[in-house]
Amino acid sequence: MNFLASREQLRGSLLRWALICIPACLLLGFLSGQLAQSGPDNVWFDNLAKPAIFPPPATFGIVWSILYALMGLALALVGSAWGARGRGLAIAVFALQFVVNLAWSPVFFGAHQITGGLIVIAVLDLLVIVTTVLFWRIRPVAGLLMIPYLAWALFATVLNWQFLELNPSADGAPATGEAAARVRIGD
């Protein structure tokens, strides 16, 4: 049976997708940051030399909230494009890039791995580019909604690299004031 959905059905589908995707992206992004103790309250991070381009700490919460909402809306637009060629691939690549996005905070802030964070964010940059192109092919507006995220991810990559340049000895080091235990096995 072949039939087209009515405009009301399509709008309803977009609304359902948006009501799931936007809050989910916001919640998962928030949880990743909280679990990794990201931000200025992290003792290890507080002790790092900050690059000249490092914005005020409050900027990150505001920007990431906007970006996660835009990502969720872009995903909703693509998700509600029933029958679009490449829709499944676009959603799968989005999911992959989102997992990589969520991994950055635990690697950088949680494990204190500046180099590891740089590797994660470089992979993220590539996946965001691919996601943006795939979204654009399905719904150009969805691709446009990903552009601010791509720009911020590229800025964050430069910022991560500058943190590494300024703090090479902090890469993988415990925070000052944190207990560090050395275990000797054998004699």
* CATH homologous superfamily for the domain 10-170: TspO/MBR protein (1.20.1260.100)
> What's residue 1's pLDDT?
43
Higher pLDDT, 154 or 4: 154
Cα 116 to Cα 4, 8, 139, 151: the distances in Å are 48, 47, 34, 21
> What's residue 172's pLDDT?
85
**HSE-CB for 9 with a 13 A CA cutoff:** 6
Among 103, 114, 115, 125, smallest CA distance to 33 is for: 103
**In residues, how long is the chain?**
187
Tell me which amino acid residue 65 is: S
Sign of torsion over alpha carbons 4, 140, 71, 93: positive
Instruction: Please give the model's pTM, rounded to 2 decimal places.
Output: 0.85
pLDDT digits (tens, 9 = 90+) for 158-181: 999 999 999 999 998 886 655 444
What does the DSSP 8-state code read for residue 4? P
Contact 60, 78 (CB under 8 A): no
Asked if residue 133 has pLDDT above 70, the reply is yes
Mean local confidence (pLDDT), 52-57: 94
Q: How far apart are CA 2 and CA 41, in angstroms?
A: 57
Give 52: exposed, middle or buried? Use CB within 10 Å, 0-12, 13-18, 19+: exposed
What does the DSSP 8-state code read for residue 104? H
Among 88, 160, 89, smallest CA distance to 124 is for: 160
Q: What is the dihedral of CA 162, 165, 167, 173, to 10 degrees?
A: 100
Q: Where are the domains positioned within the chain? A: 10-170
